[in-house]
Structure 1
């Protein structure tokens, strides 16, 4: 049976998954999202870091990093 990214079980076929989604939407079953163990505040700060780093870089440095990213 397929598992999600966190190892949770889910239906193997599309119809079974559609039924599960309908049950969650109507409140028949509860959608349980496992805790990843990370601090939500730390996750929020991490999301801000990349944007701040890009703002502090020169356009030439950003271009260099982008070119290195697409180089084979």
Structure 2
């Protein structure tokens, strides 16, 4: 069976997947969600990372990074 990004096992065929989703929706079957292993504090800090990095950079450095990204594209 293919595994989804968070490791949940799902049926490979469309009909089997539809049956599983229906069972989860009606409460006949539990939807097991895998924990990604990160604490809530780590997730919160990770979400702030890019903004914090940009705030600490000089405008020249930000322009340098933007030019490099544009050239790569």
Shared fold (TM-score, shorter chain, > 0.5): yes
Task: State the superposition RMSD in angstroms.
Answer: 2.1
Q: What's the TM-score once normalised by structure 1's chain length? A: 0.72
Structure 1: how far apart are the matches of 2:65 and 2:20? 43
TM-score when normalising by structure 2: 0.71
Unaligned runs of 5+ in 2: none
> SS at 1:61's partner residue?
helix
Structure 1 ranges of 4+ moved more than 4 A: none
**In the TM superposition, what whole-angstrom CA distance separates every residue of 1:9-61 from its partner, at most 9, and x where no partner exists?**
21001222222222212211111111222211111111111112123334443
Structure 1: stretches of 5+ with no match in the other structure: none
Q: 1:4 maps to what in 2? A: 4
Q: What residue is the counterpart of 1:38 in the other structure?
A: 38
Q: Which has the higher contact order (CA 8 A, sep 6+)?
A: 2
